[in-house]
Amino acid sequence: MRQIWAATCLTTFLLVGLASAADQAQKEEATKGKAEVLEEKASAEGSKTLPTPAEIITKPQAQSVDPTGEEPLDDAITCLARTIYWEANRKDNAEMEAIANVVMNRLGHKGFPNTICGVVKQGHEQGACQFSWWCDGRPDDAREEEPYSHAKEIARKALNRQLKDRSDGALYFHHRKVTPNWSNEYIRTVEVGEHIFYKPAGGKAK
């Protein structure tokens, strides 16, 4: 009798686990679909159309994407959140938001791709990545749960157009401890945390 009871409990446990995993996967895919719609809207140059209430990504929905920080970088939320996570000081909210601003400002801008993952990975083929974390040869997984969760929350707000542009329209940035040659070619906008931000004169990207 005990064996039958144990087997029944185990079967029930496994079925519940499978149902939960399927629900998680379904929620994640639905959220990625919403992000793709918002990404497309944001990439339309000059578009000021705000998301409808039904299009808004909620906090639980955003957190359902890439829950372990180890998934492939092939959707808008993951690509944006990983960039925020790796490029910014994870203890500085303003800096994290400013990095997100740069990615969103580039999206659809002349000279840049029209998808977030495209923006993040740009230059990889030529060995000159726009974002250093993407081709520094190190693992790209997000290892710290809390900072990565916060990065996904900022990514969610960026896609929902709920973030103030702390970069003041910037398309470029660098750490304040370095002075790249290209910094003389652009207009300095602001300094946020450990980074200095720039935009091109006339709005033209190189």
Question: How sure is the predictor about 175, in pLDDT bands with cuts at 50, 70 and 90?
Answer: very high
* pLDDT score recorded for residue 152: 98
- Which amino acid, residue 193? G
Mean pLDDT of 1-13: 56
- Is residue 203 scored above 90 in pLDDT? no
pTM of the model: 0.85
Half-sphere CA count of 182, side-chain side, radius 13 A: 13
Residues 6+ apart with CB under 8 A from 140: 73, 82, 86, 133, 134
Reported as a pLDDT band with limits 50, 70 and 90, residue 50 is confident
Measured between alpha carbons, how far is 53 from 34 in angstroms, rounded to an integer? Answer: 12
Residues 150-169: tens digit of each pLDDT: 999 999 999 999 999 999 99
Residue 17: both structure tokens together? 């686990």
User: 53-57, 61-65, 80-84, 178-182: which has the minimum mean pLDDT?
Assistant: 178-182
pLDDT confidence band for 202 (50 / 70 / 90): confident
Tell me how crowded residue 172 is: count the other CB atoms within 10 A of its CB: 23
Structure tokens at 103: 């990615």
Top-confidence range, 11-25, 169-183, 190-204: 169-183
The strand pairing partners of 198, in sequence order, are 172, 188
Average pLDDT over residues 187-200: 96
Q: Of the candidates 53, 89, 99, which has an alpha carbon nearest to the alpha carbon of residue 197?
A: 99
Determine the pLDDT at residue 45: 61
What are the tens digits of pLDDT across the range 85-139? 999 999 999 999 999 999 999 998 988 999 999 999 998 766 678 888 888 778 8
| Confidence at 1, pLDDT banded by 50, 70, 90 | low
Average pLDDT value for residue range 13-30: 70
Tokens of 110: 């002349």
**What pLDDT, on a 0 to 100 scale, did the predictor assign at position 126?**
65
Please list the alpha-helical segments (H only) found in the chain: 2-43, 59-63, 76-87, 93-106, 116-121, 145-159
More confident of the two residues 9 and 108:
108
- Integer Cα distance of 106 and 104 in angstroms: 5
Residue 204 — pLDDT band, cuts 50, 70, 90? low
Nearest CA-CA partner of 184 in 195, 200, 169: 200
- Indicate the helix (H) or strand (E) that contains 85: helix 76-87
Cβ atoms within 10 Å of 31's Cβ, excluding its own:
22
